[in-house]
Structure 1
Amino acid sequence: METNKNVYRLQGLSCTNCAAKFEKNIRNIQTVEDVKLNFGASKITVHGGATIEQLEQAGSFDGIKVYPERQRQLGKKESFWEKRDNITAMISLFFIIVGYIFSIQLGEESLITIGTFGVAIIIGGFDLFKVGLKNLTKLQFDMKTLMTIAVIGAVIIGEWGEGAVVVFLFALSEALESYSMDKARQSIQSLMDIAPNRATIRRNNETMEIDVEDVRIDDIMLIKPGQKIAMDGEVVKGQSSINQATITGESIPAYKTTGDEVFAGTLNEEGTLEVRVTKHVEDTTIAKIIHLVEEAQAERAPSQQFVDRFAKYYTPAIMLIALLVAVIPPLFFGEGWSEWVYSGLAVLVVGCPCALVISTPVAIVTAIGNAARKGVLIKGGIHLEETGRLKVIAFDKTGTLTEGKPEVTEVIRLSEMSHEEILGVAKAIEAFSQHPLASAIIRKADNEQVNAFEAEDFQSITGKGAKATVNSTVYFIGSPSLFEGMVSVSTGTKQQIKELQIQGKTVMLIGTEREVKGLIAVADQVRESSPSIIQKLHRLGIEKTVMLTGDNEATGKAIGKQLGLSETRAELMPQDKLESIKTLRERYGNVAMVGDGVNDAPALATATVGIAMGGAGTDTALETADIALMADDLERLPYTISLSRKTLSIIKQNVSFALALKVLALLLIIPGWLTLWLAIFADMGATLIVVLNSLRLMHAKYGDE
């Protein structure tokens, strides 16, 4: 039985610890059966009954606001300086400055000095203490608990000034972390704002402007020049250039006319269009992209799983070290209690795992958001990381490395039949076939306006070709293997076939069961950009590029050589492609498969990373692949690998830096140089540097190598 499920967007979700606590509080609501919080997307899914008031009450400790998922405006956005926490932090800073002035003039022991620092601590740390003391009673040791202990400890040993500085720096650290996460989340918010929320619709001969939620399938949408398209649909009248950069990442506008597909969020540049709506607002391509990007951010990447496991043991270990630092020297070496308790408190502060915990998610969120804006849909942090480790990339040939639209290059007579007759008979038979090669022959015959013949008794011969009766004669058309054992093919003809295949062409024979009448050579045109993309991939450090094709060996090798590929595997059936991926994985480890997401689904699923092309037009590509290149070309593939490698590098830098700074600060205990304010400054500095380092991924450009 399906439970009541509601999805909400959140505002004010500041840190991973707060997110975990918020989720736990919601679970404690009796009517809630299950809850899933997505920190990266700032979104929560609640199974069971819970009002917005109940959810906001569960997040009141952090001032979290809750809004229905489909609500466009999440209330008035507060600026950095309007937030209550930031205002109290600034007031606290004012009293700290006044307190230090009094300490210079009246001394640190003066009641006025202590009182001023006390006011700074209460104003700046009220919310901190409220949560920290509550956690302490429940023995929940998060960052706020550690800070509360540190500040109270500082007050007990008379370090009022230090306690006040710790409160202010902690508030500043929280504010900067919240601001940075908001910046990272803006990559999703910008996607949500792409499509208009109202559309001009003609329904029952009446024109109206309505909310996109009220638009029905088969409504006619009217789009003027310069307007954004509000819904996915099919052009029924008009022609125009459409800028599809928001969906596919392509900067060159696509020409659209009657029968062409258009996407919500794209820009109509010049003509007036009438578009028949084909999808509901929640099913549009941009809606699917947003949904998949948000789901991707909820998925924990391997690095994040490691950091989360590490932090679980790290925090208790830091508390134990702090206790030992505070207790052992006074008990066993006769040192002063005040000095070593102070050092123990400093260890607590510097040991906060904040920078460590945020080091991975902020990098993943930023990278996935950047990629989505460039027309690359990465469906999880795990796929982002695995793409960064790729050694081998396998490509399907047709429609991936080539245009996928074969053209007839030669029609060669081998009998009394004329050029026109060969094409006419071939067209008559192939009219029954759906094969791309059949389409090429029909196009060629149509272009040359060849007289049409009628074919009867059509029969497909699996994997080889077809036969049919034309003008009372049974004709066969297909690969050379179809005619083996049926008719004798001359040595000269065999040589001709071999030469055409070496040039990268597929050769079809047409004839009767007694004689080969002619040859038709067809070539799938290599995409102009494919050779340069293969070169870029090799420069990026991809060890091996492999083409998997059903073409014959000679054709496959000719195209592979033209493209500069490391290896070509030809004459493969779909199951052979699957086996090829398995053997490549066994030999090299991380292998990507690039295909169109339809015929290549098994191979895409078996590869370490399945990359589908042309995701904008195919639901299958969006569903089966780990990564979808929304445009129907490979231009974004080097960018995707480059971005993935940068993300891996930045995550490693973040984790290494956060840990190194902690260790360095802890070593300062030995000479007694670690002060409370220096400890929190180190923690805040580590968090800030980790976040700013991750935000560099927002500016990773297309074409970076």
Structure 2
Amino acid sequence: MGKALENNKEMYRLQGLSCVNCAAKFEKNIREIQTVNDVQLNFGASKLTIIGEATIDQLEKAGAFDGIKVVPENQRGKEEKVSFWKKLENINTVASLSFLILGYASVYTLGENHLATIFTFALSIILGGFNLFKVGLKNLSKLQFDIKTLMTIAIIGAAIIGEWSEGAVVVFLFALSEALESYSMDKARESIRSLMDIAPKTALVRRGSQEIELDVEDITLGDILIIKPGEKLAMDGEVVKGQSSINQAAITGESIPVLKVPGDEVFAGTLNEEGSLEVKVTKRVEDTTIAKIIHLVEEAQAERAPSQAFVDKFAKYYTPAIMLIAFLIAIVPPLFMGGDWSEWIYRGLAVLVVGCPCALVISTPVAIVTAIGNAAKKGVLIKGGIHLEEAGRLKVIAFDKTGTLTKGTPEVTDIKVFKGNGENELLGISTAIEKFSQHPLASAIIRKAEEKGISSNDYTAEEFQSITGKGAKARVQDVVYYIGSPKLFAEMNNLPASVEDEVKALQIQGKTVMLVGTAKEVIGLMAVADQVRASSAKVIRKLLDIGIQKTIMLTGDNEATGHAIARQIGVSDVKAELLPQDKLETIKSLKEQYGKVAMVGDGVNDAPALATATIGIAMGGAGTDTAIETADIALMADDLNKLPYTIQLSRRALRIIKENISFALGLKLLALILIVPGWLTLWMAIFADMGATLIVVLNSLRLLRVKE
């Protein structure tokens, strides 16, 4: 029983979590609950994971200082949205401002030291700082020094030395800063909330002869969903009846609807545009693609980026250092240099206020939350702050050829007949043999025969035999025919020089050539090529334009085919005739040579190379669980155009994080320098702190505007 309790895992969503410092304190309070073994708090996603056991009341008591509400993750019900102006703390802030204005009016009419003036400023302080003092004094009694403790000391100190007006200004500016920071974080989190609202919570299900409306949690695998025109799909599944265009923008980011027919896969959260569909459910609600996206986006925000780890470590030593400096400034000059106590205590309080590390602490998480949320809405899944930052530092990108730069479905491009009754006979014989083969080139020949209207009944093959790595043979119309590589026919000594010249000419164009014939003569050839994606050349150009130094194509094809396709696409380099383990070695050597290297592949056969690269980027994640699991970044649509956008977003995020850290520290340094001539006032100190926090948050929100 005790062991089960230790491993018990509960997940909750949080409402009212206002700041990074509050999150850290909330987490610390939960750890003190005896039945809790471990706790993980995801500030960006407002999500809490408890290992062990705790009641909602216990958790809400731990977050009472910040008014945090705790809701079980699977509990139905929307978060109550309270208008910015109706929140109690914001009403108090406005009241504080009103008494602050009255106080200054009183200064001009009655004088600064009049009892009515002091009383008006005191009311402004109490109204605006009630919650602040409640937490600050409690922390002070426990010798816990955070932003609220520092502010409480500073404001009480200001009142003691008679600086009532300054104390009131500091309280108002701090309350305003908290309100705006909370508003900005809500804005940044909206990208996740909008993802969570994409898929409907109920669906119309046919069971037997009945059609019933069910909650998605009650729908089971194999149920048939009835999807009417204009409705969103509630579950992932497979179309079993009907056809319609489906808008998949919510999942893949592609705006052009995709035609779905029986047998096609469809995703929860996508929109059925015109026809009626019947869909067989293939995944439970917690396993749908949209559920995985939401989970991974939330996990991504919880993972600390390198710059965030630096900031957290820095802040750990920075806050005590600021307190020590403030203390020394307040007591050393009066004690040893004959300074005025009131003046130097005031200066010490100003240092205390300006030293608050708010802007620094929030500089990284708010940028990462915003960037990852923006990317998810565009169909790009970035699985952590570390991957966001690393993508911004990339110099080299390697591409798997098949299915990434090319469509991955080979097509017959050339047919040449040397003997016999023409193309149809050649295709008929080839199709009869290739029907038994699993090779991708075989499917290209069969598709070509179908296009030409050649029936599989016209030609039948017997005594099929595969010739490993070279081709196959079978008896068709009482003749043993071979189909395979030029190497196969060369070994049988029946490859004329004229045919060999034809083969080489086609191979130079990047085509794979298969010969058809008997043991004595070649009767024809077929050239097959994987078609290059229309977007590939444009994407490679864009990547080079935005500063990627080198683009490399990795392929298992022969050198001639590889170089022909590379010329078409415009990549800087090509590595051909690679086995899967060779791709892995190539990525390792590229990392040694260039440092930061990305690998772009389909996430299935490229898994080792994707895992070894600095950043693994998987194509078409919406249909492939492997792609989502293996890659650091998944392009949910089968669309390379998302790649330059992802690199640009990552670079912008990296730049904004650096700007935020530099600005937060620079403004503190400037304010501390102003202490020397005595120019730094308390209200200037809080204005500098508040201004830095707001500028950092607003600067981060610019990431919402990065477009494709």
Same structural fold, with TM-score higher than 0.5 when normalized by the shorter chain: yes
Q: Is the 8 A contact 1:221 1:277 kept in 2?
A: yes
Name the CA distance, whole Å, in 2 between partners of 1:464 and 1:309.
60
Please, what TM-score do these two structures have when normalized by structure 2?
0.96
Aligned equivalent of 2:272: 268
Gap runs ≥5 in structure 2: none
Letter matched to residue 186 of structure 2:
D
Aligned equivalent of 1:53: 57
Aligned equivalent of 1:438: 442
Letter matched to residue 135 of structure 2:
V
Name the CA distance, whole Å, in 1 between partners of 2:375 and 2:522.
53
The counterpart of 2:349, out of the listed 336, 345, 359, is 345
The 5-angstrom pairing of residues 557-636 of structure 1 reads 557-636=563-642
Name the CA distance, whole Å, in 1 between partners of 2:336 and 2:438.
87
Q: Is the 8 A contact 1:417 1:517 kept in 2?
A: no
Offset at residue 674 of structure 1 (A): 0.3
Name the CA distance, whole Å, in 1 between partners of 2:178 and 2:469.
65
Name the CA distance, whole Å, in 2 between partners of 1:265 and 1:482.
51
Offset at residue 317 of structure 1 (A): 1.4
Deviations 1:275-300 (A, max 9, x none): 11111111111111111111111111
Aligned equivalent of 2:28: 24
The counterpart of 1:161, out of the listed 160, 165, 169, is 165
Distance 1:694 1:667, change over 3 A: same
Aligned equivalent of 1:127: 131
The 5-angstrom pairing of residues 113-124 of structure 1 reads 113-124=117-128
The counterpart of 2:84, out of the listed 80, 84, 91, is 80
Aligned equivalent of 2:393: 389
Name the CA distance, whole Å, in 2 between partners of 1:481 and 1:332.
95
Offset at residue 53 of structure 1 (A): 1.4
Aligned equivalent of 1:175: 179
Distance 1:72 1:647, change over 3 A: farther
Q: 1:70 and 2:68 equivalent?
A: no
Name the CA distance, whole Å, in 2 between partners of 1:5 and 1:466.
56
Name the CA distance, whole Å, in 1 between partners of 2:471 and 2:325.
76
Offset at residue 100 of structure 1 (A): 1.8
Letter matched to residue 56 of structure 1:
E
SS in 2 for 1:390: coil
Q: 1:193 and 2:190 equivalent?
A: no
Letter matched to residue 184 of structure 1:
A
Q: Is the 8 A contact 1:537 1:638 kept in 2?
A: yes
Aligned equivalent of 2:561: 555
Name the CA distance, whole Å, in 2 between partners of 1:394 and 1:456.
44
Offset at residue 405 of structure 1 (A): 1.3
Letter matched to residue 616 of structure 1:
A
The counterpart of 1:653, out of the listed 644, 649, 659, is 659
Letter matched to residue 50 of structure 2:
V
Name the CA distance, whole Å, in 2 between partners of 1:457 and 1:51.
71
Name the CA distance, whole Å, in 2 between partners of 1:650 and 1:571.
42
Letter matched to residue 377 of structure 2:
R
Deviations 1:531-573 (A, max 9, x none): 1111101101011111111111111101100111101111111
Offset at residue 501 of structure 1 (A): 1.1
Letter matched to residue 259 of structure 1:
G
Offset at residue 512 of structure 1 (A): 4.1
Distance 1:451 1:73, change over 3 A: closer
Offset at residue 262 of structure 1 (A): 1.2
Name the CA distance, whole Å, in 2 between partners of 1:225 and 1:168.
53
Letter matched to residue 367 of structure 1:
A
Q: Pick which of 456-465 and 233-242 moved more.
A: 456-465
Distance 1:469 1:589, change over 3 A: farther
The 5-angstrom pairing of residues 210-359 of structure 1 reads 210-359=214-363
Q: Pick which of 97-106 and 621-630 moved more.
A: 97-106
Q: Is the 8 A contact 1:198 1:209 kept in 2?
A: yes
Q: 1:5 and 2:13 equivalent?
A: no
Q: Pick which of 32-41 and 461-470 moved more.
A: 461-470
Distance 1:515 1:332, change over 3 A: farther
Offset at residue 224 of structure 1 (A): 1.2
Aligned equivalent of 2:701: 695
Offset at residue 215 of structure 1 (A): 1.1
Letter matched to residue 133 of structure 2:
F
Aligned equivalent of 1:450: 454
Q: 1:677 and 2:652 equivalent?
A: no
The counterpart of 1:527, out of the listed 524, 529, 533, is 533
Name the CA distance, whole Å, in 1 between partners of 2:345 and 2:333.
10
SS in 2 for 1:565: coil
Name the CA distance, whole Å, in 2 between partners of 1:59 and 1:467.
75
Letter matched to residue 337 of structure 1:
W
Letter matched to residue 702 of structure 2:
R
Deviations 1:635-664 (A, max 9, x none): 111111111111111111111111111111
Distance 1:144 1:564, change over 3 A: same
Name the CA distance, whole Å, in 2 between partners of 1:462 and 1:130.
79
Name the CA distance, whole Å, in 1 between partners of 2:463 and 2:682.
91
Letter matched to residue 576 of structure 2:
A
Please, what TM-score do these two structures have when normalized by structure 1?
0.97
Q: 1:428 and 2:432 equivalent?
A: yes
Name the CA distance, whole Å, in 1 between partners of 2:489 and 2:336.
96
Q: Is the 8 A contact 1:88 1:124 kept in 2?
A: yes
Letter matched to residue 99 of structure 2:
F
Q: Is the 8 A contact 2:359 2:693 kept in 1?
A: yes
Q: Pick which of 460-469 and 104-113 moved more.
A: 460-469
Distance 1:78 1:478, change over 3 A: same
Offset at residue 457 of structure 1 (A): 4.6
Offset at residue 421 of structure 1 (A): 3.5
SS in 2 for 1:592: strand
Offset at residue 473 of structure 1 (A): 4.9
Aligned equivalent of 1:667: 673
SS in 2 for 1:356: helix
Gap runs ≥5 in structure 1: none
Name the CA distance, whole Å, in 2 between partners of 1:14 and 1:58.
14
Q: 1:369 and 2:379 equivalent?
A: no
Letter matched to residue 16 of structure 1:
V
Q: Is the 8 A contact 1:143 1:352 kept in 2?
A: yes
Q: Is the 8 A contact 1:581 1:607 kept in 2?
A: yes
Name the CA distance, whole Å, in 2 between partners of 1:672 and 1:353.
22
Letter matched to residue 166 of structure 2:
E
Q: Pick which of 560-569 and 82-91 moved more.
A: 82-91
Name the CA distance, whole Å, in 1 between partners of 2:542 and 2:114.
69
Q: 1:93 and 2:112 equivalent?
A: no
Letter matched to residue 653 of structure 1:
E
Offset at residue 429 of structure 1 (A): 2.5
SS in 2 for 1:409: strand
Q: Is the 8 A contact 2:15 2:79 kept in 1?
A: no
Q: Is the 8 A contact 1:11 1:74 kept in 2?
A: no
Offset at residue 469 of structure 1 (A): 4.4
Aligned equivalent of 2:40: 36
SS in 2 for 1:50: coil
Name the CA distance, whole Å, in 2 between partners of 1:451 and 1:132.
84
Distance 1:641 1:72, change over 3 A: farther
Aligned equivalent of 1:537: 543
Name the CA distance, whole Å, in 1 between partners of 2:79 and 2:576.
58
Q: Is the 8 A contact 2:486 2:495 kept in 1?
A: no
Offset at residue 417 of structure 1 (A): 6.9
